[in-house]
């Protein structure tokens, strides 16, 4: 079986040759149209793998020449474009199969092996997969040796898809190919119905994965059952095996990636030492936590890590961790692949912080191919990461409703780099869900686009509607309470974890209600935000806290004040003027003020938020991001806004010493803050164990009941206020 690879990129050509040769397939190469035609003239190929874009000419030209000359080779076209127009054109010109770049070598191998299988069985026309046998001439299908009766059309449908494994066909295409009819006069539902019958017949009573996959908005795809070693991703180069944390085997590609002299130099090393030595500074803990986490999962998961090679160069490596066996013992396998695309860096940054969020976090490259798909996305859409990597986002995340809405969102992303809004999408099971979406182009320091990150949070529309108007009675009561001076401010210390000195206090508002007692902000701030009273509350807290902390500072206490700002307040154009007036009235030095904003406050109107934050920082105010890790595409904002401090949400702090997932997130946030030179504060520390653990992760500032509850000004224990002058706040200038 001979395969010609026509591809101008040397590394892709070599990679394809290597994986195919390992399957015993003879491979020869060409890098342009002329070379390909000469090579084919000398030695005909059973399979031609054809890159569409070639220097001086196109793969399409070769395809046309081949078919005109009546050559019957099986042609697999490789192309960077995934739009249907190109696919249809390639098929019309006689291509047999089609792969969108970047493709996985595993998928390519599967398709080549399917052709070989077919050719071997060509006398009897039998397609054989693991547990599934399709005998075309005898019109018979066997599942694990059991005959399954199928009507002619269903057999034809199954055969058509099985001959082209891994390829998506729309219902219209299948109608044309199998029923020989046009969707105009035969309903596409016919196809849906027969696919569903086929599924039941092939795997009766099974909820497990079917060989016939539905691709939302795309159509159907045949995914051959894995037949053992032949399709195992483990056959790809770049692998290391660990037993009890120690390297027991490594291949040449793995040692080459690390810049080690050979596999022997890696064997015997401990994973912790290896990672500490090789992973780019600042991310070691996060990397180890993530590796440990993914090792526990049954599904192999991938992440991008930055490794510093022995000669000092950083390389981005895609690391897939999976449980394995070695000599009868439980082992951990790392599959390593050099990440060469431009989105590798954002995948690296996003690994950890966002990958464990409940929201769907999807990273694509600038050509809209999916590069990262977190467990949240798996839950929301029903697709596994392995099924969607490399695919066009529109094939997988299908928007319901008008095309215009999507087009205008796209236009906005192109013009501004951002989009935030609500829409409806279709999940794998065909359900329509409503989502709140934040999409951003992520840029490098020089402003170059690296990739696109979307965070999609499913929302309950009925709930959103019911929240729109708070009950009139509650509003009137709150308005009365504000006027009657029932609001009070409590202060909670923020301390330096090592010395336990108080560094700052956070002002937290409460409502001393005549009938209900002391009411917490979570009960009335949301109402105030919806009825327009939030401005009054914010102004009161700011004035009161500046006055109080100003008094303490005048008494010689070196205290910083942290005040929460709601999204509505941040959007208020009068904010900066009001702040200046308040500060000058009380003589408060604005360099001693931190304003805490949430990520959602930043995404709603990015341009306004950015302008406001710049005006605030120009006055000397520090900006912190509250509840960090729970919000939207956080990292994007760090680069875009002048931000000084991150507050790790308390949900990642509670029980952190026992919760590997929380620890991984906290540790990623801490490494990230270190890389971006930001302060980081852990919220909600209640126990010594939590404080110690966070300190070990590199977090130096904390807040929580362990150090003090929020209390009225007269009760706050200020005996241990930080005696030193506040260190210079690190200021990051956003990328322009």
User: Whole-number minimum distance, CB 571 to ligand C2E, in Å?
Assistant: 12
Smallest gap from residue 732 Cβ to ligand C2E (A): 22
On the question of a cis peptide bond just before residue 102, with omega within 30 degrees of 0, the verdict is yes
Stretch in the footprint of ligand C2E (CB under 6 A) among 102-110, 548-556, 573-581, 703-711: 703-711
Residue 704's binding partner among ligand C2E, Mg ion, none (Cβ under 5 to 8 angstroms by kind) is ligand C2E
Tokens representing residue 238 in the block: 């770049």
DSSP states of 347-405: HHHHTTTTTT-SSEEEEE-TT-BEEEE-HHHHHHH---HHHHTTSBHHHHSEEES-HHH
Could you tell which of ligand C2E, Mg ion, none binds residue 318, using a CB distance below 5 to 8 A set by kind? none
In the complex, the smallest distance separating the C-beta of residue 504 from ligand C2E, rounded to whole angstroms, is 13
When CB distances are held under 5 to 8 angstroms depending on the partner's kind, the choice from Mg ion, ligand C2E, none that residue 509 binds is ligand C2E
Find the shortest distance in angstroms from Cβ 422 to ligand C2E: 23
Spatial distance between the Cα atoms of 419 and 606, rounded to a whole number of angstroms: 9
Q: Which phi-psi region, left, alpha or beta, contains residue 587 (left: φ > 0; alpha: ψ -120 to 50)?
A: left
In the complex, the smallest distance separating the C-beta of residue 710 from ligand C2E, rounded to whole angstroms, is: 5
| Sequence-separated (6 or more) residues with CB below 8 Å from residue 19 | 105, 108, 109, 235, 236
Q: In what order do the strands lie in the sheet with 301-308?
A: 246-250, 239-243, 329-338, 314-326, 301-308
Q: Is 704 in the site for ligand C2E (CB under 6 A)?
A: yes
- Residue among 320 and 560 whose Cβ is closer to ligand C2E: 560
DSSP run (H or E) holding 617: helix 606-618
195: exposed, middle or buried (Cβ count in 10 Å: 0-12, 13-18, 19+): buried
Which one of Mg ion, ligand C2E, none is in contact with 429 (Cβ closer than 5 to 8 A by kind)?
none
Site for ligand C2E in 510-569 (CB under 6 A): 520-522, 525, 538, 541, 564-566
Q: How far is the CB of 658 from ligand C2E (least distance, A)?
A: 17
Closer to Mg ion by Cβ: residue 29 or 683: 683
Which lies closer to Mg ion via its Cβ, residue 45 or residue 601? Answer: 601
- Name the β-bridge partners of 1: none
CA 549 to chain centre: 42
Choose the contact partner of 492 out of Mg ion, ligand C2E, none; CB within 5 to 8 A by kind.
Answer: ligand C2E
Q: Which does 710 bind (CB under 5 to 8 A by kind): Mg ion, ligand C2E, none?
A: ligand C2E
Q: What residue 705 binds from ligand C2E, Mg ion, none (CB within 5 to 8 A, per partner kind)? A: ligand C2E
Alpha-carbon distance of 318 to 95, in angstroms, equals 32
Q: How far is the CB of 564 from ligand C2E (least distance, A)?
A: 4
**CA-derived radius of gyration, the chain:** 30
Name the token pair of 548: 């109080």
Of 387 and 627, CB closest to Mg ion: 627
Strand order in the sheet with 97-100: 26-30, 2-6, 47-51, 74-79, 97-100
Nearer to Mg ion, 599 or 626 (CB): 626
CA distance 373 to 362: 5
66, containing H or E segment? helix 59-68
Report the residue number, 190 or 492, with the smaller CB distance to ligand C2E: 492
Identity of the residue, 3 or 564, whose beta carbon is nearer to Mg ion in the bound complex: 564
CB of 494 to ligand C2E, least distance (A): 10
Q: Which is nearer to Mg ion, 87 or 564 (CB)?
A: 564
| Stretch binding ligand C2E (CB under 6 A), from 146-154, 186-194, 374-382, 680-688 | 680-688
| Close Cβ partners of 64 (under 8 Å, ≥ 6 residues apart) | 93, 94
Residue 710 interacting with ligand C2E (CB under 6 A): yes
Residues in contact with ligand C2E, counted by CB under 6 A, come to a total of 24
Say which entry of Mg ion, ligand C2E, none residue 51 contacts (CB below 5 to 8 A, set by partner kind). none
- 159 vs 525 by CB, closer to ligand C2E: 525
Distant-in-sequence, close-in-space partners of 264: CB < 8 Å, separation ≥ 6? none
- Which among Mg ion, ligand C2E, none contacts residue 630 (Cβ within 5 to 8 A by kind)? none
Residues from 453 through 492 that contact ligand C2E (CB under 6 A): 492
- The enclosing H or E element of 550 equals helix 534-554
Specify whether the CB–CB gap between 76 and 97 falls below 8 A.
yes
Q: Are 370 and 364 in contact (CB under 8 A)?
A: yes
User: Applying CB under 5 A, which residues contact Mg ion?
Assistant: 564, 596, 626-627, 683
Closer to Mg ion by CB, 439 or 564: give it: 564
User: In the bound complex, what is the minimum distance in angstroms from residue 522's beta carbon to ligand C2E?
Assistant: 5
**Least distance from ligand C2E to the Cβ atom of residue 252, Å:** 51
What is the DSSP-derived secondary structure letter of residue 661?
Answer: H
What does the alpha-carbon distance between residue 379 and residue 405 come to, in Å, rounded to a whole number? 25
Residue count (the chain): 736
Residue nearest to ligand C2E (CB): 704
Q: Which is nearer to ligand C2E, 655 or 734 (CB)?
A: 655
CA–CA dist 373, 292 (Å, integer): 19
Q: What gap in Å lies between CA 414 and CA 423, rounded to an integer? A: 18
Phi and psi of 683, rounded to 5°?
A: -95, 155
Query: Using CB under 6 A as the criterion, what x/- string covers residues 623-662 for binding ligand C2E?
Result: ---xx----------------------x------------
The rounded distance, in Å, linking the Cα atoms of 365 and 516 is: 53
Closest CA to 629 of 356, 282, 292: 356
Q: Compute φ and ψ for 276, nearest 5 degrees.
A: -60, -35
Which of 65, 686, 698, 734 is the binder for ligand C2E (CB under 6 A)? 686
Supply the minimum distance, in Å, between the C-beta of residue 167 and ligand C2E: 50
Instruction: State the pairing for strand pair 398-400/246-250.
Output: unpaired
Of these, 216, 352, 684, 702, which contacts ligand C2E (CB under 6 A)?
684
The answer to whether 418 and 602 have CB atoms below 8 angstroms apart is no
Instruction: Give 261 or 520: the residue with its C-beta nearer to ligand C2E.
Output: 520
291 to 320: interface string for ligand C2E, x by CB under 6 A: ------------------------------
Nearer to ligand C2E (CB atom), residue 349 or residue 699: 699
- 258: CB partners within 8 A, 6+ apart: 266, 278, 307, 309, 310
Least Cβ distance, residue 705 to ligand C2E (angstroms): 4
Residues 6 or more apart in contact with residue 719 via CB below 8 angstroms:
none
Please choose which of ligand C2E, Mg ion, none residue 374 contacts, taking the beta carbon within 5 to 8 angstroms, the exact cut-off set by kind. none
Nearest approach in angstroms of CB 467 to ligand C2E is 17
Mask: binding to ligand C2E, 485-514, rule CB under 6 A, as x and -? -------x---------------xx-----
Candidates 114-122, 331-339, 376-384, 681-689; binding stretch for ligand C2E (CB under 6 A)? 681-689
In angstroms, give the least distance from the CB of 475 to ligand C2E: 17
Positions in the binding site for ligand C2E (CB under 6 A): 492, 508-509, 520-522, 525, 538, 541, 564-566, 596, 626-627, 650, 683-686, 703-705, 710
């Amino acid at each position: 079986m001979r395969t010609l690879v026509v591809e101008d990129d040397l590394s892709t050509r070599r990679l394809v040759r290597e994986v195919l040769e390992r399957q015993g397939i003879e491979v020869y190469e060409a890098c342009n149209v002329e070379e390909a035609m000469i090579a084919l003239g000398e030695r005909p190929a059973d399979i031609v793998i054809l890159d569409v874009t070639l220097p001086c000419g196109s793969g399409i030209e070769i395809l046309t020449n081949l078919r005109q000359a009546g050559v019957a080779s099986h042609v697999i076209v490789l192309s960077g474009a995934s739009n249907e127009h190109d696919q249809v054109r390639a098929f019309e010109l006689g291509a047999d199969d089609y792969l969108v770049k970047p493709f996985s070598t595993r998928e390519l191998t599967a398709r080549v092996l399917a052709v070989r299988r077919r050719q071997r069985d060509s006398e009897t026309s039998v397609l054989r997969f693991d547990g599934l046998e399709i005998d075309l001439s005898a019109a018979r299908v066997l599942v694990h040796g059991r005959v399954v009766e199928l009507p002619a059309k269903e057999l034809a449908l199954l055969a058509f898809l099985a001959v082209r494994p891994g390829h998506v066909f729309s219902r219209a295409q299948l109608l044309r190919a199998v029923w020989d009819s046009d969707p105009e006069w035969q309903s596409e539902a016919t196809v849906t119905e027969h696919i569903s019958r086929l599924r039941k017949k092939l795997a009766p009573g099974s909820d497990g994965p079917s060989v016939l996959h539905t691709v939302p908005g795309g159509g159907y795809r045949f995914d051959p059952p894995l037949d053992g070693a032949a399709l195992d991703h483990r056959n790809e180069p770049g692998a290391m095996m660990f037993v009890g944390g120690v390297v027991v085997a490594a291949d040449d590609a793995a040692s080459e990636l690390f810049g080690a002299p050979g596999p022997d130099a890696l064997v015997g090393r401990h994973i912790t030492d290896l990672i500490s030595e090789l992973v780019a500074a600042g991310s070691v803990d996060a990397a180890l936590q993530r590796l440990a986490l993914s090792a526990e999962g049954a599904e192999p998961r991938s992440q991008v890590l930055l490794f510093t090679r022995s000669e000092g160069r950083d390389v981005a490596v895609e690391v897939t961790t999976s449980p394995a066996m070695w000599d009868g013992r439980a082992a951990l396998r790392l599959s390593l692949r050099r990440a060469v695309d431009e989105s590798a860096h954002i995948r690296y940054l996003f690994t950890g912080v966002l990958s464990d969020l409940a929201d769907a976090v999807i990273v694509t490259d600038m050509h809209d191919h999916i590069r990262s798909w977190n467990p949240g996305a798996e839950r929301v859409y029903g697709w596994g990461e392995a099924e969607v990597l490399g695919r066009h986002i529109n094939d997988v995340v299908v928007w319901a409703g008008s095309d215009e809405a999507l087009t205008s969102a796209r236009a906005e992303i192109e013009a501004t780099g951002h989009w935030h809004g609500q829409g409806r999408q279709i999940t794998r099971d065909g359900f329509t869900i409503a989502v709140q979406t934040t999409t951003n182009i992520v840029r490098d320091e020089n402003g170059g686009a690296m990739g696109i990150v979307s965070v999609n949070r499913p929302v309950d529309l009925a709930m959103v509607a019911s929240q729109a108007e708070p009950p009139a009675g509650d509003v009137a009561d709150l308005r009365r309470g504000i006027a009657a001076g029932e609001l009070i401010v409590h202060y909670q210390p923020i301390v330096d974890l090592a010395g336990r000195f108080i560094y700052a206090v956070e002002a937290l508002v409460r409502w001393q209600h005549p009938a209900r007692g002391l009411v917490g902000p979570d009960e009335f701030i949301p109402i105030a935000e919806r009825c327009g009273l939030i401005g009054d509350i914010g102004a009161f807290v700011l004035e009161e806290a500046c006055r109080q902390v100003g008094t303490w500072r005048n008494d010689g206490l070196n205290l910083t004040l942290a005040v929460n700002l709601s999204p509505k307040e941040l959007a208020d154009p009068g904010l900066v003027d009001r702040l200046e007036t308040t500060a000058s009235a009380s003589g408060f030095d604005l360099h001693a003020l931190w304003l805490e904003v949430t990520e959602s406050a930043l995404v709603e109107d990015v341009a306004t938020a950015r302008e406001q934050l710049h005006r605030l920082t120009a006055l000397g105010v520090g900006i912190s991001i509250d509840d960090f890790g729970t919000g939207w595409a956080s990292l994007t904002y760090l680069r875009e806004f002048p931000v000084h401090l991150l507050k790790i949400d308390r949900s990642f702090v509670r029980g952190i010493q026992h919760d590997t997932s929380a620890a991984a997130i906290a540790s990623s946030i801490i490494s990230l803050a270190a890389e971006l030179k930001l302060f980081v504060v852990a919220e909600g520390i209640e126990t010594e164990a939590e404080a110690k653990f966070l300190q070990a992760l590199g977090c130096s500032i904390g807040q929580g009941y362990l150090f003090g509850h929020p209390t009225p000004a007269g009760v706050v224990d200020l005996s241990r206020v930080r005696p030193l002058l506040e260190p210079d706040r690190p200021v990051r200038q956003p990328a322009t």
